[in-house]
A and B are shown apart, each in its own frame.
Chain A
Amino acid sequence: MTDRERIRNFSIIAHVDHGKSTLADRILEATRAVSEREMREQYLDQLELERERGITIKAAAVRLNYRAKDGVTYVLNLIDTPGHVDFHYEVSRALAAVEGVLLVVDASQGIEAQTIANFFLALEHDHAIIPVVNKIDLPSARPEEVALEIEETFGIPASEAIFASGKTGEGVDAILEAIVHRIPPPQGDPEAPLKALIFDSVYDKYQGVVPYLRVFEGTVRPGDAIRIWSTGKTFEVTRVGVFRPGGIEATEGLSAGEVGWLMAGIREIGDAQVGDTITHAHRPTDAPYPGFKPAKPVVFAGLFPVDSQEYNRLRDALEKLKLNDAALVFEPESSDALGFGFRVGFLGLLHAEIVQERLEREFGLELIATAPSVVYRVRTVDGEEVEIHNPSELPDPTRIAEVLEPYVRLSVFTPEAYVGPIMQLLQERRGRMINMLYHGKRVELVYEVPFAEILYDFHDRLKSISRGYASMDYEQIGYRPGDLVKVDILVHGQRVDALAFIAHREKAYRIARQVVDKLAEVIPRQLFPVAVQAAIGSKIIARATVKALRKDVLAKCYGGDVTRKKKLLERQKEGKKRLKAIGQVEVPQEAFLAVLRAGRED
C-alpha cells in the first residue's frame, strides 16, 4: 500500500482522433513503464478491434512510477476512457475514479463537441484540468490560438496549456510534472468502512469477473468478505492488486486513494457493473458512491444465424460476450422471415457494430442483422405502458393511446459558416433548438431531437455538410409523445416482420418509398416478378417491382467443361445459402438493412 501523498490518479479526455492514445503511449514510454522494445503502437487499446478502428472501447488502467524533478517518486494511475459518444456513462464513471484530467485538444482542429462534453463531465467532479494542446508537430498546428480558444471557452488561462506532440514526445515531461504538481493527491481514510467504485471489469476464464476499482475509503485485503451494493451479494476476496503495463501485480491490499483490481470468484457480470460500489459485508459504508445507473441499452436489433443450426452457438457466443459487457442484453426472438435468433440491446450503433463484428470474427458466426431501432414506449388504451424493442411488436393502432419516443440533447460544434445548413438539417430531423453559444469563431448548437432521427446517418450528413468540421455529442433525456406509425413491408404479398419499421407519420411515405426501392434493387431477380410494398395498416403507401429473371449464363458447355461448370454452379449454390427464403422469394442479407440504407440517401 502506497503513501497517499505520492499517488496521482488521472484520466485523459479528448475528442475522437485528437491523439489521446498516442499521447498515452508516450507517457508510458517516458516513465519507462514499457521498454521501447515492448512498445507497441497504442498500448492501452488492447482489443484488436480497438486498434483497427483507432478508438478506445473499454476503459483500461495502468500504474506508473514517475521520479519527478523534486526527486520524489510518484505513483501515477492512468485510467483510459472510451472515446465514443455511445459510451457517455462509462466515461463519467472512469472520471469519477480520478482527481484530475488531461484535456487533450488537437492543435489544428481546436475544440470539438466531445471536448466540451468531456470538460463538463470533469468539471462536475471538480477535477483539476490540465489542458494539453496536442499534435503541435503538424504544419497546420496553431497552438497559441487553440490555447486562447480553451481560455475563452473553459476559463482556463492560456498560460496553463501545455504544448505537446504524441508523435515526437515533445511536452511529455511538462505533462508529467503538471500531473504531479497540479493534480491533488487522493483523499480518504484507510481505516474507514470500505467504499470502492467499480469503473470497469474484465472476465477471466479462471477468476471470473474481475472488477477494476477505485478505493475511496477504507482498505480491502485478500480474505475480506465484500458486498456489492446494488445486488447485496457477498463474496470473499481471493486476491487484490494493481495494474502494470502488460499485466497485473498482486499486492497485500488496496486502500483509500488507490486504483487496482480484485478477484473474488464473481461469476456474473451483473454483480460487478460499472458504477456500482463495493463495501465490506460486515462493516459496510453508509452510502454508496453516487450516480450508479445499471447499464441500459438504447438501441435494439435482431441477430439471426444465417444457418438456423447455429442458433445454440450464437446463444453461447452472446453469453460469452456478456461476461465482459454488462451493457449487452439479449432475449430469444423468433421471426417468421428469419427463424430463431435474438433481439439484442446495445448502447448505440457503434456498440452494435462492435458486438456483431466480434461475433463474426471471434466466433466464426454468419449473421443476419435487422436494422437497429430505438426503444419506443406505448401507452395502451387500457392505461398500460409497454416498451417496444422490435417495431413489429407495435400493437394495433386501435389499442394505442400514445406512442412515445426517446429524445436526446444534442450538441453540435461547428465553424460559423455551416450554422445555416446544420440548422436546416436539424429542422428536417424534427429537432428543437435550445441554445446557441459562441466560442470564438465556433458555434455550439444545442438541440433536443428524437434519438431515432440521429441514429443512422446523422453524423455522416453532419460531416458532409460541414466538410468534416462539425462535431457532435449527445445524451439521452427521456421520452416524449410523437405521431408515430408502423410501416410494414410486404414481399410478394407476404408481410415480413423483420423489415417493419416505425416512423414519424409525415416522413413515413418518403422513407417507405426509399425502402421499397432499395429492396427492389438488392433482391435478385426471381423466376417471376416480385412486388415489394410498404403499408400502414392495410393501406399500401409505396410499391416497387423486381422484374423476372430472363436468362442466366448462355455459355457453351462441352465434355471438357463439365468440372469447371459444376464448380461455377456449386459457387452459385453456396451464394444462395446466404439468401433467406421469404415465401418463394429469396432475399439477401443486406435487404434486412434496407431501412438503414434508405435513411442514408436523402
Chain B
Amino acid sequence: MTSLYVHVPFCPTICPYCDFHAVRRTRGAVAAYLERLEAEARALAPARTPLRTLYYGGGTPSYLREDELVRLLSLGLPLEAGAEVTLEANPGTLNRSRLALLRSLGVNRLSIGVQSFQDPVLRGLGRAHRARGAYRAIEEALDAGFRVSIDLILGLPGQDPERDLKEAVRLGVGHVSAYTLIVEPGTPFALAGLRENPDREARAFALAEAILGEAGLVRYEVANFARPGEEARHNQVYWRMGFWAGLGPSAASHEPAGAPGLYAVRRTRPPLHRWLAGEPPAEEPIPPREHVREALMMGLRTREGVDVAGLEAATGLKLWERLRPAAERLAEAGLLEVGKGRLVPTAGGLDLVHSLVLPLWEALS
C-alpha cells in the first residue's frame, strides 16, 4: 500500500453540522493519542513500501500545538520522492511560523476549511473564523509554497455562492472542494429543523461549474474542482477504490485481503477512547463482487470513470456483458459514455451519480 490516512480527532469547536469523529482536547488526551499513534506507526513501518500519498485529516490536525505537530508529522514512515503530503487545516490555526514549521516537516499540500467568505454564513455555520482570517491564511499558505485546496459549502441559506466562488478564483487556489450541506440526522442543525434545499443547491453547483471552469478548474469529481495536475492524488486512490492504510481513531483502511475468495478487507478502527484502550479495528471482508459494487459507486463520481476491463482482470468476474444493457440505457439518457471497457459519466451524469450507480448495481445482482 502506498497511501496512508492518519486521523486526528481534535477540534477547537465542534461544528453544528459535523457527524465525523471529532472531540475537544482534554488534558493529556493529545499526548495519549500521539503515544498510541506512534506505536501503531512503528508496527506498520518495517513492512512498508515508501508512501506516494499521506493525508492527515480530522478533526482539525492543524489545531495541535507545535511540539505535538512535530510528533504527528514525524512518524518515521518512508516517503517516495515527490510524495503528496496533505494536512487539513482551519484558517485560524495557520500563521507564517506554523506554515514554515509544517513545510519543514514535509507537508506540501493544505486543505483549508474555508466554507465561505461571507461572515453571516460563517456565523450561521458555527465556524470559529471569519472571512478576513480565511483570506490571510490562504495568501500566506500560497506564499509559503503549499498546494492549496479550499473547502466551500454551497447552497446555504443566505449565501451568495457566486461571490464565494469568485473569491476562490481571485485568490488563485488550484483546488476547490465544493459540497452541499448534508443535514445528518442527530446533528444540531438537524435538531434545529434545518432542511436541505435541492433546487438552491443545484443552482449553486451550476454556478460552480461555470465560474471555476472559466478559471481553469475542472470538475474532476462530483464535489472537487482542480487545475489539471492539481488533483488530490490521495483522494483519487479512494475514488479508484485502490488500497490504503489507516492510522488513528476511527480511521478506515482498505487493504489487500491475502485470503482466497476475498478481494480486500476493510479495517475500521474504533473511536478515540476505545482506540486508546487498544481495541482492534473491526474487519469487513470484501468479496470480489462487493469490490465491484464499491468501485462503481466511487469511480462513477469521477470524470475518469470506471475501468471495467481492469476490474474484470482484478476480480476474475465477467462484468461487461452484464453491465452493458443498463449502461447503454444510461447513455441514451445522456448520463454516461460507454467506451472500450470503460464507463465514464458525462458532465450531467456527475450530478446524478445515484441514478447511475443503482441501475448498474441492479444489473449485477
Closest Cβ neighbor of B224 among chain A residues:
A556
B7: A residues at CB distance < 8 A: 560
Q: How far is the CB of A561 from chain B (nearest CB, A)?
A: 8
User: Is the beta-carbon distance between A554 and B205 smaller than 8 angstroms?
Assistant: yes
Q: How far is the CB of B225 from chain A (nearest CB, A)?
A: 12
How many Cβ-Cβ contacts under 8 Å join chain A to chain B? 91
User: Is the beta-carbon distance between B180 and A558 smaller than 8 angstroms?
Assistant: no
A528: B residues at CB distance < 8 A: 333
B284: A residues at CB distance < 8 A: 563
**Given A557-B298, A558-B235, A559-B244, also A552-B353 (CB < 8 A):** yes
Query: Interface 1/0s, chain B 344-355, versus A by CB < 8 A?
Result: 000000011111
Query: Interface 1/0s, chain B 244-268, versus A by CB < 8 A?
Result: 1010001110100000000000101
Residue of A527, A559, A565, A573 contacting most chain B CB atoms (<10 Å): A559
- Alpha-carbon gap, A565 to B354, bound state (A): 10
Which residues of chain B (76-95) have a CB below 8 Å from chain A?
A: none
B201: A residues at CB distance < 8 A: 551, 554
- Alpha-carbon gap, A527 to B353, bound state (A): 11
User: Is the beta-carbon distance between A569 and B297 smaller than 8 angstroms?
Assistant: yes
User: Is the beta-carbon distance between B355 and A562 smaller than 8 angstroms?
Assistant: no
Instruction: Among B297, B330, B352, point to the contact of A549 (Cβ < 8 A).
Output: B352
**Given A562-B294, A566-B297, A569-B361, also A553-B354 (CB < 8 A):** yes
- Alpha-carbon gap, A566 to B295, bound state (A): 11
- Alpha-carbon gap, A550 to B347, bound state (A): 12
User: Is the beta-carbon distance between B351 and A559 smaller than 8 angstroms?
Assistant: no
Taking the complex as formed, is B358 at the interface, i.e. its CB lies under 8 A from any CB of chain A? Answer: yes
Taking the complex as formed, is B301 at the interface, i.e. its CB lies under 8 A from any CB of chain A? Answer: yes
User: Is the beta-carbon distance between B238 and A559 smaller than 8 angstroms?
Assistant: yes
Q: How far is the CB of A526 from chain B (nearest CB, A)?
A: 9
Residue of B222, B284, B330 contacting most chain A CB atoms (<10 Å): B222
- Alpha-carbon gap, A557 to B238, bound state (A): 9
B235: A residues at CB distance < 8 A: 558-559
Query: Interface 1/0s, chain B 48-59, versus A by CB < 8 A?
Result: 000000000100
Instruction: Among B252, B333, B354, point to the contact of A563 (Cβ < 8 A).
Output: B252
Query: Interface 1/0s, chain A 219-237, versus B by CB < 8 A?
Result: 0000000000000000000
Taking the complex as formed, is B362 at the interface, i.e. its CB lies under 8 A from any CB of chain A? Answer: yes
A554: B residues at CB distance < 8 A: 179-180, 201, 205, 222-223, 351
- Alpha-carbon gap, A97 to B336, bound state (A): 72
Which residues of chain A (161-197) have a CB below 8 Å from chain B?
A: none
A556: B residues at CB distance < 8 A: 177, 179, 222-224
Taking the complex as formed, is A572 at the interface, i.e. its CB lies under 8 A from any CB of chain B? Answer: yes
Query: Interface 1/0s, chain B 5-34, versus A by CB < 8 A?
Result: 101000000000000000000000000000
- Alpha-carbon gap, A551 to B197, bound state (A): 11
**Given A551-B202, A569-B297, A569-B357, also A562-B266 (CB < 8 A):** yes
A553: B residues at CB distance < 8 A: 180, 182, 353-354
User: Is the beta-carbon distance between B357 and A562 smaller than 8 angstroms?
Assistant: no
User: Is the beta-carbon distance between A573 and B361 smaller than 8 angstroms?
Assistant: yes
Residue of A549, A552, A560, A563 contacting most chain B CB atoms (<10 Å): A560
Taking the complex as formed, is A576 at the interface, i.e. its CB lies under 8 A from any CB of chain B? Answer: yes
- Alpha-carbon gap, A139 to B224, bound state (A): 68
Residue of B198, B254, B330 contacting most chain A CB atoms (<10 Å): B198
**Given A562-B266, A562-B298, also A527-B182 (CB < 8 A):** no
Q: How far is the CB of A164 from chain B (nearest CB, A)?
A: 49
Closest Cβ neighbor of A552 among chain B residues:
B354
User: Is the beta-carbon distance between A558 and B352 smaller than 8 angstroms?
Assistant: no
- Alpha-carbon gap, A573 to B359, bound state (A): 9
A527: B residues at CB distance < 8 A: 330, 333, 335, 352, 355
Residue of B266, B301, B352 contacting most chain A CB atoms (<10 Å): B352
A562: B residues at CB distance < 8 A: 238, 252, 254, 266, 294, 297-298
Instruction: Among B179, B335, B358, point to the contact of A573 (Cβ < 8 A).
Output: B358
Taking the complex as formed, is A287 at the interface, i.e. its CB lies under 8 A from any CB of chain B? Answer: no
Query: Interface 1/0s, chain A 494-533, versus B by CB < 8 A?
Result: 0000000000000000000000000000000001100000
B182: A residues at CB distance < 8 A: 553, 555
Looking at chain A, what size class is its interface with the partner chain?
Answer: 20 to 34
Residue of A549, A556, A566 contacting most chain B CB atoms (<10 Å): A556
Which residues of chain B (173-214) have a CB below 8 Å from chain A?
A: 177, 179-180, 182, 198, 201-202, 205
Instruction: Among B202, B244, B358, point to the contact of A550 (Cβ < 8 A).
Output: B202
User: Is the beta-carbon distance between B238 and A558 smaller than 8 angstroms?
Assistant: yes
Q: How far is the CB of A291 from chain B (nearest CB, A)?
A: 57
**Given A559-B244, A563-B268, also A550-B351 (CB < 8 A):** yes
The secondary-structure label for the interface of chain A is loop
Q: How far is the CB of A578 from chain B (nearest CB, A)?
A: 14
- Alpha-carbon gap, A528 to B329, bound state (A): 12
Taking the complex as formed, is B127 at the interface, i.e. its CB lies under 8 A from any CB of chain A? Answer: no
Which residues of chain A (384-399) have a CB below 8 Å from chain B?
A: none
User: Is the beta-carbon distance between A551 and B298 smaller than 8 angstroms?
Assistant: no
- Alpha-carbon gap, A569 to B291, bound state (A): 15
Taking the complex as formed, is B293 at the interface, i.e. its CB lies under 8 A from any CB of chain A? Answer: yes
Closest Cβ neighbor of A584 among chain B residues:
B329
User: Is the beta-carbon distance between B355 and A559 smaller than 8 angstroms?
Assistant: no
A576: B residues at CB distance < 8 A: 358
User: Is the beta-carbon distance between B251 and A560 smaller than 8 angstroms?
Assistant: yes
Closest Cβ neighbor of B253 among chain A residues:
A559
User: Is the beta-carbon distance between A566 and B351 smaller than 8 angstroms?
Assistant: no
A565: B residues at CB distance < 8 A: 297
- Alpha-carbon gap, A551 to B196, bound state (A): 13
B250: A residues at CB distance < 8 A: 560
- Alpha-carbon gap, A554 to B200, bound state (A): 12
Q: How far is the CB of B331 from chain A (nearest CB, A)?
A: 11
Instruction: Among B198, B268, B362, point to the contact of A551 (Cβ < 8 A).
Output: B198
A551: B residues at CB distance < 8 A: 198, 201-202, 205, 351-352
B5: A residues at CB distance < 8 A: 559-560
- Alpha-carbon gap, A572 to B250, bound state (A): 26
User: Is the beta-carbon distance between B198 and A557 smaller than 8 angstroms?
Assistant: no
Q: How far is the CB of A322 from chain B (nearest CB, A)?
A: 36
Closest Cβ neighbor of A568 among chain B residues:
B354
Q: How far is the CB of A377 from chain B (nearest CB, A)?
A: 45
Q: How far is the CB of B116 from chain A (nearest CB, A)?
A: 16
Closest Cβ neighbor of B196 among chain A residues:
A553
- Alpha-carbon gap, A555 to B178, bound state (A): 9
User: Is the beta-carbon distance between A555 and B351 smaller than 8 angstroms?
Assistant: no
Closest Cβ neighbor of B232 among chain A residues:
A558
Q: How far is the CB of B281 from chain A (nearest CB, A)?
A: 12
- Alpha-carbon gap, A476 to B357, bound state (A): 54
Q: How far is the CB of A345 from chain B (nearest CB, A)?
A: 37
- Alpha-carbon gap, A551 to B352, bound state (A): 5
Which residues of chain B (292-335) have a CB below 8 Å from chain A?
A: 293-294, 297-298, 301, 330, 333, 335
Given contacts A527-B335, A553-B180, 9 further A-B pairs with CB under 8 A are A527-B330, A549-B355, A553-B353, A554-B201, A559-B5, A559-B244, A559-B254, A569-B357, A569-B358
Listed in ascending order, the chain A residues whose CB lies under 8 Å from chain B are 527-528, 549-560, 562-563, 565-566, 569, 572-573, 576
20 A-B residue pairs with Cβ-Cβ distance under 8 Å, sorted by A, are A527-B352, A528-B333, A549-B352, A549-B355, A550-B351, A551-B198, A551-B205, A552-B353, A554-B179, A556-B222, A556-B223, A557-B301, A559-B235, A560-B252, A563-B252, A563-B266, A565-B297, A569-B358, A572-B354, A572-B358
Listed in ascending order, the chain B residues whose CB lies under 8 Å from chain A are 5, 7, 57, 177, 179-180, 182, 198, 201-202, 205, 222-224, 235, 237-238, 244, 246, 250-252, 254, 266, 268, 284, 293-294, 297-298, 301, 330, 333, 335, 351-355, 357-358, 361-362
Q: Which 4 A/B pairs are nearest by Cβ-Cβ distance?
A: A551-B351, A559-B238, A552-B354, A556-B223
